[in-house]
Amino acid sequence: ANILKQNGWSNNNIRLMVNDEASSRNIGIALESWLTKAGRNDIILLFWAGHGYPDPEDPEKVYFACYDTDINIPSTGLRMDRVRDFLEERQVRNVIVLADTCHAGKLITRGERGVAVRPYIEKVKKEQNIPKGWVFMVGADTDRKAIEGKSWKNGAFTHCLLKAFGGAADGYESSGPKDNNITLGELRAYMTSAMPEETLHVLGVAKHPVIVTSTGDPLIWELPLFEK
């Protein structure tokens, strides 16, 4: 939240939920009511860092673990496809979902059984299962755990994301001009390169983010996130 404020986002347009405030009920209320003020031409940026888990009785159902979640009772979590449904109902043209959590790929696949994110990307594009103008950047595939390390104090995805928003993505490797304005394209270029480099250095194995867009229009990558 602080890094968004530092880069020009109004405090009135930021909703931070941590610890006991981040209950399943409170998050659901925020999605259903607080987001209603977003207009069609606004940008919704949703960031989630935490745990995700499948229902052992029905792996198609994957949940965010909230503050009050009892993982022995899967339904006490927040269904990932429910989050996506809320966002679709807003009919906002541009939605950016950033997720650093186990099984985050289910946000893209809607919990389709046995389907991993990367093979699913082409299917998403062909069948247009994501509304136009949406971008997903997630730190773990549907069948993989989020990557964490003590030196990061966060997941690898979050660590790299904070560096990107701190200015490292601005003009990264000629993905755009170095103009104190970070675009989606610059963020994509930085995350695609930085996360495997960072995980290779710390863990000895390169891990890659999964990045999916619902449109074939290259102009989506010129969308500015904020000015630094």
Compute φ and ψ for 123, nearest 5 degrees: -65, -40
Strands 52-55 and 58-64: antiparallel
Alpha-carbon distance 54 to 142, whole Å? 10
Other Cβ atoms closer than 10 A to 173:
11
Token pair recorded at residue 11: 């405090």
pLDDT recorded at residue 25: 92
Token pair recorded at residue 223: 């969308």
Domain of residue 181, CATH code: 3.40.50.1460
Q: What is the mean pLDDT of residues 153-173?
A: 89
Q: What is the mean pLDDT of residues 10-34?
A: 89
Nearest to 108 by CA among 126, 134, 133, 86: 134
Which pLDDT band, with edges at 50, 70 and 90, does 118 fall under?
Answer: very low
Count of domains observed in the chain: 1
**% pLDDT > 70, the chain:** 79
- Claim: this prediction has a pTM higher than 0.75: yes
Mean pLDDT, the chain, integer:
79
CA torsion 130-132-138-141 (nearest 10°) is 30
Q: What is the mean pLDDT of residues 129-142?
A: 72
Between 142 and 169, name the one with better pLDDT.
169
Amino acid found at 119: P
**Residue 34 structural domain:** 2-227
Residue 123 has pLDDT above 80, yes or no: no
Alpha-carbon distance 117 to 212, whole Å? 9
Lowest mean pLDDT among 22-26, 90-94, 127-131, 219-223: 127-131
Q: How far is CA 70 from the centre of its chain?
A: 23
Residue 19 has pLDDT above 60, yes or no: yes
Residue 97 has pLDDT above 90, yes or no: no
Give 55-88 pLDDT, tens digit per residue. Answer: 888 877 778 889 999 988 988 988 878 887 888 8
Rg (CA), the chain: 17
